[in-house]
Amino acid sequence: MPSEEHCEQPARGGGAGGPAPSLPEIVDRILAHRSDLSREAVIEMINERVRELEGLIDEDAAALLVAKELGVPLPQAVLPAGRGRLAIKDLVAGLQNVQILARVLKVWSRSPPDGRAMVRLLLGDATSTISAVAWGEKAEEIARLLKPGDCLLITRASVIRYRGELEVKVADNSEVKVVDDPTVPSLESLAERFGVNVHKFHLHEVVVGSGGATLYGVSDGAPSCAIVPGDLGAKLRPGDVLLIQDPRVVTSGAVKRFLLTKLSRIFTLGSSPIDRGGASFGVVDLLEGSEPTRSPLGIRGYHVAVVPSRAGGFLMVLGGLRESLSVLTFSEDAARMLATVKPCSIVEVRGAFATQHGLRLSPYFRLEVRGSGEEATRAETLHRPGSHVSARATIVSAAFRFKILSDGWPLVAAIINVDDGTGWARAITSFPGHVAHLLSADEEAIREGAATGILPATLSYVAEELRGLDVELRGYVSGDRVMAVESIRLLG
């Protein structure tokens, strides 16, 4: 970013540091660097530029543009006042009192330590892009007035070079107007043409979680979600048309994801009715046996467990009539919360999205516990999946997974395959009381074992000892025989 001192420096050349080079001087410099051209050819090129711009610039200005196009180095020159509108590709350092018609592609603003506001714009037209900067009251005026997508007419601006790049300086006496000019290409077409990282996003659903929000909508005609830290998401409403600036974009999977960082910004451009046919965001209801949608935003089902994943993170397991589903999360807070939810409770979690590897839970999610399910169909054997059961069975195999969280708390999950002679089930639980019963140890002893490093050996030993034991189980067995364990008791 330019310093205030830099932005206040006058451009060198006519009007500030000496007279601007005359037409003959510019032509002589061109000929000195381009011996392959004749004086007559250079003059004709200059006249052609005057004709192309329909007389908006004179021969001196046209000569500067020709020199730029030919790659001829020139001292910084200054155009006299009153010159016409220029395309961005025709701007050269040292021009003053220029008029620019362009579309706003990006907006950055900040207040430096001295309290003087600064705003920087990325402008684009059919020919190129350029940065524009303003300070002080002019910056505050622009920040209030503008948003990406606006078409601007800037007059009495100057062009400088900063850190090797051209930059438009918007001074206190410059005039900035929002105009409606269909000759300037749209924001979307300019962003695509010049590779600008901005994305329109039509908001369908908002899930507000702790510390941020997950937005669901349509961008570029495809289902998309945006993960937004802070409190901005809570202020947005379905139907809002947003412009997301400088996100990190992840395109793997069925849903495009925008991950916002400290450098990202969101602008509200307006609102429009939601077309539900473009992308159907919904909650996968495992209790009703509904099929997963292409663009889920949540899952409803019986809480089974939260299991440390071998690939990192944690798997939240939910059961239902036809099948169980696992949702990956990398949030320790989410894992700790889920581990203390009583198994077999009906839960609805919102803030999920689909990736090419399965469902993922956003760091900003909402969990609702809705009590226990109906038990009118409770069976006494494991032969019928998709029902509540209360059965006595034999443990065929057992395994444990664990992860010590950053606060030292050991999250332990038990995975037990049981068989009662009529059927089998895979009982999974991470409920602290269940794990303590299986390990014949209280929670404090388990935590001490984790702290001293003996927990892995203990879990391996107990897994072997559990094989062949009988157990009484109550819970819900999903259609794929994953069991949410409501209660468990070892026999003998």
Indicate if 197-271 has the same CATH topology as 4-21+75-188.
Answer: yes
pLDDT computed for residue 145 by the predictor: 86
pLDDT computed for residue 18 by the predictor: 46
**Using 50, 70 and 90 to split pLDDT, how confident is the model at 55?**
low
Q: 139-144 long-range contacts, Cβ below 8 Å, gap at least 24?
A: 139/109, 141/176, 142/170, 142/176, 143/107, 143/109, 143/117, 143/119
pLDDT computed for residue 3 by the predictor: 40
Q: Is CATH 2.40.50.140 what the domain over 4-21+75-188 is classified as, yes or no?
A: yes
The average confidence (pLDDT) of the chain is 86
- The 10s digit of each residue's pLDDT in 306-327 is 999 988 899 999 999 889 999 9
Between 289 and 89, name the one with better pLDDT: 89
pLDDT computed for residue 56 by the predictor: 58
Place of tokens 């189980």: 473
Place of tokens 């990736």: 355
pLDDT computed for residue 283 by the predictor: 85
State how far Cα 291 lies from the chain centre: 27
Specify the CATH number of the domain 387-491: 2.40.50.140
Q: Which two structure tokens, joined as six digits, stand for 168?
A: 């438009």
Looking at the predicted structure, is the pLDDT value of residue 76 above 80? no
Looking at the predicted structure, is the pLDDT value of residue 107 above 50? yes
Residues 6+ apart with CB under 8 A from 140: 117, 119
pLDDT computed for residue 16 by the predictor: 38
pLDDT computed for residue 6 by the predictor: 39
- d(C-alpha 61, C-alpha 64), whole Å: 5
What integer is the mean pLDDT of 140-157?
A: 91
Domain locations in the chain as residue ranges: 4-21+75-188, 197-271, 281-372, 387-491
pLDDT computed for residue 82 by the predictor: 38
AA letter at 246:
D
- The 10s digit of each residue's pLDDT in 406-465 is 988 999 999 999 999 999 999 999 999 999 999 999 989 999 999 999 999 999 999 999
Interhelix angle 59-69/39-52, nearest 10 degrees: 110
pLDDT computed for residue 366 by the predictor: 92
Least confident of 125-134, 156-165, 209-218, 369-378: 369-378
Looking at the predicted structure, is the pLDDT value of residue 11 above 70? no
Specify the CATH number of the domain 281-372: 2.40.50.140
- The 10s digit of each residue's pLDDT in 182-192 is 899 999 999 99
What DSSP element (H or E) covers 141?
helix 136-145
Residues 378/388, Cβ–Cβ less than 8 Å: yes
Tell me the backbone φ, ψ of residue 228, rounded to 5 degrees.
-120, 110
What integer is the mean pLDDT of 80-93?
A: 72
- d(C-alpha 325, C-alpha 332), whole Å: 20
Interhelix angle 39-52/23-33, nearest 10 degrees: 120
What integer is the mean pLDDT of 160-189?
A: 92
What integer is the mean pLDDT of 353-373?
A: 85
> Whole-angstrom distance between the N-terminal and C-terminal Cα of the chain?
73
**Using 50, 70 and 90 to split pLDDT, how confident is the model at 154?**
very high
- d(C-alpha 113, C-alpha 421), whole Å: 75
**Using 50, 70 and 90 to split pLDDT, how confident is the model at 103?**
very high
Residues 143/116, Cβ–Cβ less than 8 Å: no
Q: Which two structure tokens, joined as six digits, stand for 67?
A: 């020199």
- d(C-alpha 342, C-alpha 471), whole Å: 19
Show the CA angle centred on residue 435, arms to residues 430 and 436, nearest 5°: 145
Residues 6+ apart with CB under 8 A from 418: 382, 393, 394, 395, 396, 424, 425, 427, 471, 473, 483
* Architecture of the domain delimited by 197-271: Beta Barrel (2.40)
Place of tokens 């139907």: 239
Least confident of 78-82, 112-116, 257-261: 78-82
Place of tokens 């948003």: 147
